[in-house]
Every structure is written in structure tokens, then in C-alpha cells.
Structure 1
Amino acid sequence: MGKGFAYLLVAMLIATAPAARAQTGPATLVADDIAFDQGSLTASGAVEIFADGRVLRARRLTYLREEDRLLVEGPLTLVDGDRSILVADFASLSRDLRGSVLRGARLVLDRRLQIAANEVVRDEAGRYTQLYETVASSCEVCADRPTPLWQIRARRIVRDEVERQLYFEGARFEVAGVPVAWFPTLRLPGPGLARSTGFLAPRFRSDDILGTGVTVPYFVALGPSRDLTVAPFATNRGATALNLRYRQAFDAGAFAIEGAFGRDDTRRGSTRGYVFADGSFVLPLNYRLDFDLEAVTDDTYLLDYAITEKDRLDSRIALSRVERDNRILAEVIAFRTLRDGERSDTLPSRVVTLTREQRRDLWGGIRSWQIEAHGRERPVSVAPPGFPPSSARDVARLSASAGWRRHWVLGPGLVTTAFAEGHLDVYQVAQDPTFADRMVTRFVPYAGLEARLPLVRHDGTVRHVLQSIAQIVLAPDRRPAVPNEDSITPEFDEGNLTATSRFPGRDVRELGRRVNLGLSYAREPLEGWSVDAFVGRTFRTRDLTQFPTGTGLDSKASDWLVSLAAGTGERISVLSRTLFDDRLDVSRSETILRWRDADARLETRYTFLEADAAAGRPIDTSEWGLDAGVDLTADWTGRVNWRYDFVTNDASRAGIGLTYRSDCVTVDFDVERRFTSGSVLQSTTLFGLSVELAGFGADDARKRRNRCGT
């Protein structure tokens, strides 16, 4: 062929490739017919050139020896792996590559974005590709729908291979062929680029409180491990806010800070805002540092701006080390309430805890111990008018616990357990007349025996497991009263039936001698329905009135605990747990149903809780919730959520949403109504709208449906 011709074959592939790479070997030419004469070489028929993993297919090519130029007649196609496909009508390439020109070209990037151009010119270094008189879109053009849903027409597009950016000049954005926006210049990230400085998809919203507005996020990539997002927000009612988010990752951890500040008509003359921050770092000697900060200017800001429905904020910093047999924790927590009728200065809003735990093998069993120093403080020194005397109480506690537990297997598989443990707590109480600023000491010992008899049957495809549980717990009936702030809401479920104490914290320890009985059944198939069922109950020698009404534990014999879980993989699952007494009066009940198939998703939940004033629940709770979604068509998905309170016979929340998702665009529209209101909180309706174009950046376009049905 000659060295000049071989060089031009290689040069052509480098010039037309989307990402120029060094050629390590000669190009290979395959054609139906190759003709030579004194001034040229012509290849025709099914012409193919292979070089460095790229393939060029053309109808005819001619090498002009005197001009040292290669002419390629199309239609020609250059395939560069999965990254790009270039189709053109004609290409002309010179030895120095300065005259590399393609006409009537169409470039497909990452099988996402298509750019059609009258002419394509590539620079000598191979970094920039210029496309003239272009049309760009990620929408597939079908025979029955020749006009794409959206497209960008531009006088010129410059593609930067190094930065993976697309620069548009004289751009016009069209929807269904109708121009809707003009841009003198426009920059968009190339397909597959995960992080790039620039604007993100805007979010539109409208509600009864702030009005109609838009958030326009701007993302700044400060480096491979840092970024900043600046998102101004403004509405037609004068509400303005600047949202900020900063993230940074390190070799040993990461942290993120987000927040906002601005003004609106709800609190004239006041700047409103919030700050949330969290982070986690691995330290030497297996220690870990975790922190989070939550602060807000007023009680309703987070709800007004739809940031979170959290009504008690907690800021925390903790140093910990968790190993197989050891645990060390030092933490400080600050609480703030946003609930109507509560004051943060009358709650134990500053809490400090130091904990050290260890477990070791001893006498064929496991012994464990724990030492903990704990303090909680209220900012006020005197209870405000209308609040109980304990509203100014400060508490310091020093606790120590030790325990031993051992298992044996007897006879035909009877698993027996012996255990003993003791808990010592010393309290120093201040600013509470109930305890008269004195020190209170309490020691609670436990001892007991437990027996479990599992019975198993296997018929080849299904395994059935039936297990009976019996436990005796010995504990004193009386102990000195101590301030209770971490054990107000005890729970009774199958997970703590055999626990020595059903209270969640240390301030209250369950007292009295009792017998815990349970029976569980499990059906474990290779395929089909799986079932887990449990029934249990606790019997005491005396009713010590430790447990509030509604917990299921507030009598000599507890309520019956019945739970059922069933399901078929991820398609259907049912979970139900109920507490009821001998008269079948229910104190607590919760049922959750989840169902999913290829086109629909459903989760519905019913919750009933008997009134418990100590837990802040003065009346019964009876609520039904529904969250569902369904694929209405190939492109449309609908969703709905609903919360209904049967006690007040009112809906507390309702929402509906629609998503249009095609091969080239995603549109989300939501409407949500919050019905609940109070002296500060108002009922409101929120509308939200977002539009995202596929084909730019790191979207999931490859998972989208082919619009033409192929």
C-alpha cells in the first residue's frame, strides 16, 4: 500500500475517533476491490478498516498520492466500542490532520445523545471536535414520530474530549418542534460525566404559605473529593432563600453540611433558616468519630420549606470503639423540640454519656459488665408557671452492671439457659422537690432459667420449625424511685419477651417475679409462601403497676402478644402484631401489607395505640396509611399516598404524583395536602414540578425504554 497510505488510514481513525488514542500498530484494510494507478489507490465495495479497537466501514475510499489526502465516500460509519458511533456522508483527511473534515455527519455518544451536523472538523491535537449547523437530542426519532420530544438546534457545538463537556453557540431549545428558549451560549456535561460544574435541573413548587417559586441549583465541583451546591429559591410572594450544601471526602471519612437562610412573609423582618451537618471519621486505635448538627431558626421552618417532618432535633458528637468483645462510647447530645406546647428549656436538652462494656468467656458461659456515667441538664433553674416541678430537674447518674449467661443442650434437643445479672445505679438529683436534691441509690438483681424446645420437620421442599419457650425471671418487688426520663415508652413484642426488662433505658428496671411463655412457628419453603408466627404472654406473681395503660403489660397477666409474618419473596409480604387481653380488647395493633409486581407497588399500614398520657398520647391513635404506585402506560407512572385518622374522622395527609419517563426526559409532578394544623402549624397544599433531560451527565438513560419499540 505504501507508507503514506498506511499512515493516512491510521490518521483518519485517530482524527474521527471521539477520544484519540495512540496507535500501537498498523491499520488493516479489507475491501471487495482494491485498484492501483500511478497517482492514487482506490478501495471499493464493503470497505472496512480496523485499528486500535475501532472499526471504520465505508462504501469507497481513495488515496490521492500527489495531494497526500484520503477521501472517504459514505455512508461511512466509525464505531469506537460502546462510547460513540459516528456516521457521515463524506470525509476528507490530510496528512497533518488540519484539513480533517466530515460532512453530513451524525454522532451518537454513549448510546444516549445524538448530534447531527452538516460538517464536523477535528483539531490537530484531537481534543476538540467542532460540529456546525447541528441538532442534538437524546430522543429516538421513529418513522411514525419524526419530530423528537425535545431537541437543541445550534449554530456550532464544540466537544471537549478532555473535560467531557459540550459547548453550544447560538442554541435554540425546542419542545415537539416548537422553540421555547434561546441561549447565546450554553454548556452541558457530556454523557457519562458524573461530576461537573454547572446548573442542575430546577425544581418548581407552589404552596399556600410561600406561594409559587423555583429553586435553581448550581453545582460546583471543587475537586475529586469536594463539591458545593448553591441553590437560590424565590417565590411570587417575596419569599427568598439561598440553599447551600458542601460535601468533602477524606481517606478516613467524610462530612456534609447543608442549610439555607432567607426571608418570607410568615415572619416579617426576620431571617429564617436552618443548618444540618453530619460526618464520620475513622481514627487510630479503631476509634470512630461521628457527629451531626441540627439547628433551625424557628419551629415551622422545616415544614414550611418541605425539608423534613422531624419535630425534635438532636445534635450529637460521639467518640466510639466497637470490637468483638469491647465497646467504648463517649457522646454529647443536645435536643431541641419543635412540637407545639413543648419548650426545649424544660426538657433534658443537654445529655452527656460515657460507657465502657466488655464480655468474656467464664465457666462455660459468657460474663459481661458495663460502667456508665450519664448526666442530663435542663437550661431553666426554676420550673416555669404551668409546668410540673420536674421541668427544671438536672440529673447525674453513675451505673454499673454485670451478668453471666450459659447455655446447655439436654436430652432430645432441649436448649436450657441459666442467667444472673445485677444493675447498680447512683443518682444525684437537683432542682426537683420530689427528690429534695438528694442522692438515690438503687440495685436491681435478676436471676432466671430459660428452656426452648425446637421441633423440626423437613419434607423435602418445606421445613417446619415449632419452638416452645418458657422462662422464669426472679427480681425484687420494690426498689427506690428514681427520675424516669429514658424509659417512658416501653414496648412489648416478640423480640423482648424474654428480656429481663422491657423498658428501653436504665431509669426504670422491670421488677417482680414472672414467667414468660411463648410459642413460635416457622415455615421455610424452597419457594412459595414463608410463614413466621408467634404467640406469647407474661404472668407475674404481683401487679406492681409499673407499666402505663396501653403497653399490654399493665396487669398481673400481660396481654396476649400475637404476631404473624408471611410472604412470597419480594412480591407479597404481610406483617401483623397485636396485643389483646382475655376479653379480646386490643391495646396495640399494627398491620403492614406490601405488594409488588412488574407494574404496581402497594404498601398499606394500619396502626392502633391505646391512649397513654405518660407517652404524650392523651387519646387513642387509630390511623390508616397508604402508599401506592402504578405504571399507567409505558411512559407514565402514577403514585398516591394517604393518611387517615379514624379517631378524628379526618385525613391528616394526602398526596398524588405523576411521572413521565421516556427515553429522553423525566418529568415529576406532585401535589400534597397537609390537613393537620395547630396554633403555629398551618394546613397547606404543596405542588412540585421537576424536569430532567436524559443524555447529559451520569443519568440512567441505558435503562430507559426504547421509544421506537425495538
Structure 2
Amino acid sequence: MLLEADTLVYDNDRNTVTAVGGVQIDYDGNRLVAQRVAYDRNTRKLIATGAVEIVDRDGTKIYSDEIDVTDDFRDGFVNALRVETTDKTYFAAESAERRSGTVTTFNRGIYTACEPCEEKPDKPPIWRIKAQKIIWNGEAKTVRFERARFEMFGFPLAFLPAFEVADPTVKRKSGFLIPSYQGSSKLGYGVQVPYYLALSPTFDATFYPTYYSKQGFLGMAEWRQRFNNGAYDIRIAGIRQQSPEEFDPGTVDSREKFRGMIGTKGEFQINPRWSFGWDVLAQTDKNFSRTYSIDGFNQSVHRSQVYLTGLNDRNYFDLRAYRFEVQERLLDADPRSRSEKQPWVLPSFDYSYTPDEAIAGGELNIDVNAQSLYRRELDRSGWQGSGDSDALVRGTEGWNGRVTAEAEWKRSFIAPGGLMLTPLLAARGDAIGTSYSGLSEAAIADLAGTLGVEDDIRSAYFRSMATAGLEARWPILFSTTSSTHVLEPMGQIFARPDAAYQNRLGIPNEDAQSLVFDATSLFERDKFSGFDRIEGGTRANLGVRYSGAFQNGWGLHGLAGQSYHLAGDNPFASPDLVSAGAYSGLESDRSDYVAMVGLTTPVGLSFSAGGRFDEDSFEMRRTDLTAGYTTRPFSIVGRYSFIEAQAPEEAGDPPAYGFDSDRQEVQLSASARFFENWRVFGSGTYDLEKDVLVARSIGFAYDDECFAYSFTVSETENRDTNEVDRSFGFSISLRTIGDFGTASNSPFASSRL
């Protein structure tokens, strides 16, 4: 023990030692500071008075005017005390008693995790719990409140006879978690009371018993385990629906009584280069996890997959098997249903290799891609689900597979004057196998007849492509005293033969169905999005790029150009099972014009715009405008999007690639913070074509170091039926106590008048 004081008084008659004036005692990691300390050798007790402060070995601070404690700081009694723990939680009481060195009982105590106001220390905190007794068990790591009253801003809100929470220092402890309330017009109102079971430092379990007033008891449990190199979890849920008739008739939800799921996710780092993982969902029907909002598995489209990935410098390896699971209410017999039309991809393989050493003075890239997939049901429905005889064949029934290998070499030369020339050579080969059902073959033949081309259905296809290209860039620098500008004219030319089987239908298109031609893809060598489509013929791309840096951090950049088909068959005007390339802006010899521009500023303002314009009339075909302003107290982002209809204009044109009507939409979101801790936010989406505010929401929130609250109201409106769904939700978070929240959908829907 180390004792420091201004004066020491020894009383041998009473067998006491008294330290007076600036007393400080250090013993076994504990520290006591007071104006006066009297030590009774007979009882082995210290009585400290006058601005007493004790700091124990854990860092917890105790403040009082008088403390009676044993000489080993193990047990004691305190009047009018205040306790501050290391993680900024606070106890106060009229008196307290400590026994066995671990259990502290606060009489008429107060507990909060909110730091006292420096300007007004007597001001009530945002929240606090007052109790007749607060029992803090340092060994069991619990805090028990008896005859407790919960207060907000000094006003009582709830009374609880008794409850117990984990010690503020505990990160994992078994026990009940804060209940949550849920509800919807189909499920009824429900309450969930989770129970957390801490089994070991590396694995645990959580049970989520939930009762819905209309559908009954939902049982759910989650198991989690962590290792040195990764972690996995398993979630199981099930219910016996009491009232399936509450759901809309003719839906999956209304047809099922016993429903359940099992889902698991995992990811492991085998070594610094290799990782392995999975995300798998299995359920009794295709919509259970979405209907009951099973966390982690309630997406409208869930991808179940198993994968192995390797990455080393510029070399990449990826092997995975997966399936997209569409969670929808539609029955499988409904032609609009997408669930059974999703294929099993077993497997998908990607490999990319770039040697570290230069090859013939240039860079060599080798890419390999392979995929094998099986689909049980023909996906013949058009983008609008029309089911017409000439609908696009988005997916064939049966098996198909492909292996692609491609090599590309390029080298850059800088000519006098700054002209940069990059010659390019590329070669590619594909081996494709198919095992179509009779229904798929008939669908392909029907579509070929509609398009006026031949069908060429085989069990195997082999095709190759060679490319010779040249890219020229001439960056020109302009500088002033306050800005720097770079203007860079660019040009590319790629000479290729026509692609094999280009004007006949037969080769499946699974991974190149999405095609968006804009400024970002103008200078791509192959503008198709995947490997199933191959670009042939001779094509040139011309454009100009600009970037400018101005004084005080302002920046401006832009790109504009056009693509030209010079020789051979235009692949974007060639027939395809999904009409990829039609209405893309690339189907004519002169493409549409594409452009983009962006602005950045140091004051939080940003702007970007991109568009595609008709090559003859300069009429707008597609555009995206985004503007935003962000500062610490305020932010707002607006976006305008327009996409022209991608549908036939005249007889004999390809079937609709996308939507058969124009799409025009405005989105706006904003958030404002005021009074430091308060903020309000909102968002809206407006369909200009249908004159419908399809989504809107507004809410407000408060957050500080000990308390957070948010409340949100939102509505969504069907673009076609004008049916409105409303929902609201709120959440409360009390630091060290837990989270509480609720969300419910309105039990009614209204139509716009």
C-alpha cells in the first residue's frame, strides 16, 4: 500500500491511523482520494470523507462525500454516491453496499448510459432507470432492477416490477433480448421475444419465437460459429399457418399450411490468396422467407451459391455453382411466374492470367470462361409476359454449356507530338454444347419464322474470332494561371470477320441479354455484356474526352462520340433469341451519339449527365441526370431518367427487347440535420409517363452517444392499378439496454380517385 497525505495521526489507545489533507492511497490496482481517511486497525476498515473518489482496478470511478470500505477495497458501504464505469455508464444512489467484492447493491438507485450535461449537471438525462434497488453482480455480470421506473427527459413512461440486463462490460451473455413488434394485414399483429444463448467464445445461438395473431406461432433459430479463418451461420424457421385464407387467393401463400426454411451462409479465408464460401437457401415453397421477412433470406431474388475464389496480383480464379431463386406470390402455373424458369448453373468458371513479364514488348491477357446450366422449364415469356408465339426465348429448356478461351495482346507507342498508338491483337475460340427439349426447338423455330431467318439447331457449335485493332489518342494540354485542361481526341478501329452462325437462330444467349450503349461502353472492344454473343465485322469508334481542374478544387470532365459499322454483318442488327442489340443505338451503320459530363466542387455540389441521341434527328433516346448537394447539416440528391420504348415501330421489326412504352422518372431524396442530434429525411419517386407518385417516404430521427430513435412513414403505389400500400416503422436504441422497434403494414389498401 502506498499512502500520501499532508498529516498522519496515530492513536495507539484506539488503535487507529488518520490521514488528513490531500490523502491518496494506492493498493492492488485501486486508488482512493479524499480529504480525510481514518483507518481502524481492529475492524480493518477505512472511513474516507470529503470529496471521496475511488478508482478500482477496472477503471470504474466512485464519487461520494463519505465511504466506509475494508482495507482491501473488497467490501464497503457508501452514502450519496455516484459511479462512473469505463464504458461511460453511470449509477447514482442514496446509499450502496458492496459485499464479497463483487456484488454492489444500490438503494434508491438511478442508472443511465447518458453522459451528464456539463453546463447543467442537475438536468435529467435523455433516459434513465430509477429503481428501489439496483443489484450489480460483478461475478455473474448482470444488473438487476427491482421496482423500476423508466424515464425519458425526466418524465416516467413505464413501470416494471423487476428485470435484468447484462453488465455494461459484457459483450456476450445468455438471456432474453429486447422484444420487437411486427405486423401486417396478412399475418396480423405479432410479438417476437428473442433469447440469446452464449455457448462459448466462438459459437452461440439465438432463438426468435414469434406469435402472429392471424397465422400463429413462428419458430426460428440461428446458430453462429467463428473460426480463426472465417465463420458460418445456419438459420431455421417454420410455421403452421392458422389462416392461409387471409392471403390473396390464387397465391403461393394461400395454398400452403406447413411452411419452413433452412438457410446457411459461410465464408473462409483458406490463405491470403484463396477464399471459399456459400450462401444456400432451401424452403418448402418459393415465398416463405420473403412473406415472413427471414433476415438475410428475404430478397425478392436470392442467389444460392457455393464458390471458390483466388486472387494473386493480376491473376484471378473463380469457380462457383449457383441458382437464382425468385421469391414471388404467383403460382408456378401462372405464365408470369419466373421461379421455375431459373436455371441451375453447374458450374460457372472464370480465369484471368496476365504474365508479369512483357510479351514482345506488350501486355498479354488470357481469359477463360465456362458455364454449364440446366433449366427445367422453357422461358419463352416476353419481357412483358405476353406469352405470344413470337415472344423472345430468354431461356431454353434442357441443358447447354459453353467453354471460351481468349487471348489479347496490346502495346503502346508514343509518337512525336504526344500521339499515343496502341496496336491490339486478339483471338478467341468457343465450344458450345446443347441438349434442347422438343419444346425449346419448336420455340426457336417459331421465332425464326417470325424474324424471317433460318433456325440452326445443333447439339454442338464451334466458333472462333480473330481481331486486329488500333487505338489512337492525342492528349493536348492547355494551362492557365488558375486552371488546367486536357483535350483528348480518341479513335479505334477493329477489323474482324463475321461471327459464325450470326444470321441463324440456335445458339443460346444466357449471359449477354443486357445491352446498354452509352459513353462508358463507347470504346469497348466487345460491347456485348457476356460471352454468349460475339461481335464480328469491322467497327470504328470515335470520340473526344475532356478533363479540367480549376482553382479551389473545382473539376469538370466529359466524353462524347459515336460508333461506326464499316464492313461485314452488323452483329447488333442480327437476329438473336432475346433480340439483344435491337433498339440499342448500335443496330445501324452509324450509331446514336453518346455523351456524358460531370462536375465536382469543393462546396459539396456535384452534377453528372449522360445520354444517347438519335444519329439523324438528335432526338433523345436515353438519358440520366443526377445532381446533388451535400454539407454537414444538409444533403439533397435528385435524379431524372428517361428510356425510350424498345418495341417494334413497323411490321417486320424485331420483337420488343425491353418495354413497349417510354419510361420517364424523377427521384428525389433529402436529409437535414438540425440542433446537432436531430435530423429529418424523405424521398420520392415520380413516374412522369403515368403521372403516379410511385413511392414516397418521410421520417425523422434523433441520435447521440446513448440514445437513438427513428420514425418513418412510407407509401408505394402500383403504376397500373393505383393501389396504395402504406407502412410505418420506428426503432429505439438505448445503449447498454438494447434495441426496440416495430413495423407494420396498414391492413387496408386504397385506390386513387
TM-score, scaled to structure 1: 0.84
Structure 1 residues 106 and 351, CA gap change in structure 2 (3 angstroms): same
1:132 paired to 2:110: no
1:687 paired to 2:728: yes
Higher relative contact order, structure no. (Cα contacts within 8 Å, ≥ 6 residues apart): 1
Distance, in Å, in 2 between the alignment partners of 1:132 and 1:66 is 28
How many angstroms does 1:365 deviate by?
1.0
How many angstroms does 1:623 deviate by?
1.8
How many angstroms does 1:643 deviate by?
1.7
Distance, in Å, in 2 between the alignment partners of 1:165 and 1:197 is 10
Distance, in Å, in 2 between the alignment partners of 1:82 and 1:552 is 69
Distance, in Å, in 2 between the alignment partners of 1:82 and 1:642 is 51
How many angstroms does 1:129 deviate by?
2.9
How many angstroms does 1:92 deviate by?
1.8
Identify the residue that residue 22 of structure 1 maps to in structure 2: none
Identify the residue that residue 248 of structure 1 maps to in structure 2: 225
More off after superposition, 635-644 vs 333-342: 333-342
How many angstroms does 1:460 deviate by?
6.8
1:509 paired to 2:514: no
Identify the residue that residue 489 of structure 2 maps to in structure 1: 468
8 A Cα contact 2:597 2:610, kept in partner: yes
> Can you list the C-alpha shifts for 1:156-184, whole angstroms capped at 9, x where unaligned?
33334356432334434344443623133
Structure 1 residues 96 and 665, CA gap change in structure 2 (3 angstroms): closer
Structure 1 residues 645 and 252, CA gap change in structure 2 (3 angstroms): same
* 2:471 partner amino acid: E
Distance, in Å, in 2 between the alignment partners of 1:73 and 1:348 is 78
8 A Cα contact 1:354 1:373, kept in partner: yes
8 A Cα contact 2:477 2:486, kept in partner: yes
Identify the residue that residue 209 of structure 2 maps to in structure 1: 232
Structure 1 residues 144 and 43, CA gap change in structure 2 (3 angstroms): closer
8 A Cα contact 1:86 1:106, kept in partner: yes
Q: Which of 55, 66, 83 is matched with 1:107 structurally?
A: 83
Identify the residue that residue 585 of structure 2 maps to in structure 1: 552
Structure 1 residues 78 and 153, CA gap change in structure 2 (3 angstroms): same
Identity between Structure 1 and Structure 2 (%): 25
Task: For residue 345 of structure 1, give the secondary structure of its aligned residue in structure 2.
Answer: helix
Q: Which of 613, 620, 623 is matched with 1:586 structurally?
A: 620
Identify the residue that residue 446 of structure 1 maps to in structure 2: 467
Task: For residue 362 of structure 1, give the secondary structure of its aligned residue in structure 2.
Answer: coil
Distance, in Å, in 1 between the alignment partners of 2:719 and 2:298 is 13
How many angstroms does 1:516 deviate by?
0.9
**TM-align CA RMSD:** 3.5
* 2:67 partner amino acid: A
1:327 paired to 2:352: no
1:316 paired to 2:341: no
* 1:692 partner amino acid: S
8 A Cα contact 1:82 1:111, kept in partner: no
Q: Which of 53, 56, 61 is matched with 1:85 structurally?
A: 61
How many angstroms does 1:471 deviate by?
0.9
8 A Cα contact 2:221 2:235, kept in partner: yes
Distance, in Å, in 1 between the alignment partners of 2:325 and 2:352 is 29
Structure 1 residues 568 and 299, CA gap change in structure 2 (3 angstroms): farther
Q: Which of 601, 604, 616 is matched with 1:571 structurally?
A: 604
Identify the residue that residue 510 of structure 2 maps to in structure 1: 485
> Can you list the C-alpha shifts for 1:62-88, whole angstroms capped at 9, x where unaligned?
223454432111331234699432112
8 A Cα contact 1:549 1:611, kept in partner: no
1:188 paired to 2:170: no
1:669 paired to 2:711: yes
Identify the residue that residue 539 of structure 1 maps to in structure 2: 564
How many angstroms does 1:117 deviate by?
2.1
Identify the residue that residue 436 of structure 1 maps to in structure 2: 457
**Aligned residue pair count:** 670
Distance, in Å, in 2 between the alignment partners of 1:407 and 1:471 is 13
Identify the residue that residue 290 of structure 1 maps to in structure 2: 277
1:651 paired to 2:693: yes
* 1:578 partner amino acid: G
> Can you list the C-alpha shifts for 1:176-226, whole angstroms capped at 9, x where unaligned?
443623133x22233354333334444434444434334433333333232
How many angstroms does 1:520 deviate by?
1.6
> Can you list the C-alpha shifts for 1:34-55, whole angstroms capped at 9, x where unaligned?
4444343333344344567765
Distance, in Å, in 2 between the alignment partners of 1:591 and 1:273 is 44
Distance, in Å, in 1 between the alignment partners of 2:661 and 2:3 is 83
How many angstroms does 1:402 deviate by?
2.0
* 1:256 partner amino acid: D
Identify the residue that residue 520 of structure 1 maps to in structure 2: 545
Distance, in Å, in 2 between the alignment partners of 1:586 and 1:382 is 32
Distance, in Å, in 2 between the alignment partners of 1:221 and 1:525 is 57
How many angstroms does 1:368 deviate by?
2.8
Structure 1 residues 550 and 304, CA gap change in structure 2 (3 angstroms): farther
Distance, in Å, in 2 between the alignment partners of 1:415 and 1:173 is 72
TM-score, scaled to structure 2: 0.80
Distance, in Å, in 2 between the alignment partners of 1:513 and 1:444 is 12
More off after superposition, 420-429 vs 318-327: 318-327
Identify the residue that residue 7 of structure 1 maps to in structure 2: none
Distance, in Å, in 2 between the alignment partners of 1:464 and 1:30 is 73
* 1:245 partner amino acid: E
Identify the residue that residue 136 of structure 2 maps to in structure 1: 159
Structure 1 residues 656 and 240, CA gap change in structure 2 (3 angstroms): farther
Task: For residue 340 of structure 2, give the secondary structure of its aligned residue in structure 1.
Answer: helix
Q: For structure 1, list consecutive stretches of 5 or more residues without a partner in the other structure.
A: 1-25, 700-710
Q: For structure 2, list consecutive stretches of 5 or more residues without a partner in the other structure.
A: 248-252, 331-335, 382-386, 445-455, 575-579, 648-655, 741-753
